[in-house]
Amino acid sequence: MRTHFSFLLAALTATAMIAQQPQAPSRNSQHRQGPPVMINDGGVPEMLESIYIPPLQNAPFSAIVHSEWIKTLTSGGTFTTENQRKIARDSLGRIYEERWNLVPKGGSAQSQMNAIQIGDPVGRILYNCFLHTMPHRCTLEKFAETPLAAFHPAVGKSGQLPNGNGFRIHEDLGIRNFDGFDAAGTRDTTTYNEGVIGNDRSFSVTREFWFSERLGIDLESDIANPLFGEEIFTVTDLNSAEPDPTLFQPPAGFDVLDQRKPVPPAE
């Protein structure tokens, strides 16, 4: 689910490009096919991957995730975008996540919800419900993960990276409390040597997580990578009551397009 259930959380920043065939100049305006079309080369689609919510059973909750993406400008200074969204999970392990556009922090633009995702590990189904790109339509796909009785993320270790590529330092940061939920903090700082991935000097990536064993999710995470900037996720408004069961059904008025592959007939 980490890759399948992740979704576009950041607005695409690449400039849209329009395909155009070369046109020979014409002296007769009647033969022209229209005004020139400006085409801009380059641009990079971007996606921010938020916190992972496993299909953990008997650990219901609802909360708000606050996201910040801080990127360093080549001219100096930073550019920060943000959003916040509702998440929930019931005792069966079903997961509800809203997806909202990232908008400039402190700007006048208002974030808008663009999709809802509902994952059901018992029925093995995943709904992707779109509000704008495919208005009022949900695609139905196979949910790849099964219900979990417990979830423990991998913990890093200090030491050298393979092939002499660099080294990692692991730190235990103790316990913090978030809205009545204890979370254990860890920080891994990985330093890559010069030339490992095209870099002309060594650089470090820092990943700090505050993990709630009771809920099976990170209540705060801070990932600082000079290639992509700093990503900060903070979970607030935690409530351990059973969420509204209607959250785990497609929204009213939405069409459902089943995109699951049909089961081949038995021979």
**In terms of residues, how long is the chain?**
267
Mean pLDDT for the stretch of residues 143-152? 94
Confidence of residue 172 (pLDDT cuts 50, 70, 90): very high
pLDDT of residue 34: 66
Rounded to two decimals, the pTM is: 0.82
Beta bridge partners of 63: 87
Mean pLDDT for the stretch of residues 21-27? 38
* Residue 179 CB contacts under 8 Å (≥ 6 apart), including other chains: 236, 237, 238
pLDDT of residue 39: 77
Strands (E), the chain: 61-72, 78-89, 95-100, 103-104, 113-120, 125-130, 137-142, 159-160, 166-178, 181-192, 203-212, 217-225, 229-239, 255-258
CATH class given for the domain over 61-258: mainly beta
- DSSP 8-state symbol, 247: G
- Let me know: does 248 contact 94? Beta carbons within 8 Å: yes
Q: What is the pLDDT of residues 46-105, one digit of tens each?
A: 777 889 999 999 999 999 999 999 999 989 999 999 999 999 999 999 999 999 999 999
Look at residue 24 and tell me whether its pLDDT is greater than 60: no
Q: Classify residue 96 as exposed, middle or buried by CB count within 10 Å of its CB (0-12, 13-18, 19+).
A: buried
What is the rounded CA–CA span in Å between residue 63 and residue 9? 17
For the chain, the structural domain boundaries read 61-258
Confidence of residue 11 (pLDDT cuts 50, 70, 90): very low
> Token pair 């204890």 is at which residue?
182
Kindly report the average pLDDT of the chain as a whole number: 86
pLDDT of residue 115: 95
Q: What is the pLDDT of residues 185-220, one digit of tens each?
A: 999 999 999 999 999 999 999 999 999 999 999 999
Look at residue 33 and tell me whether its pLDDT is greater than 70: no
Look at residue 263 and tell me whether its pLDDT is greater than 70: no
pLDDT of residue 158: 97
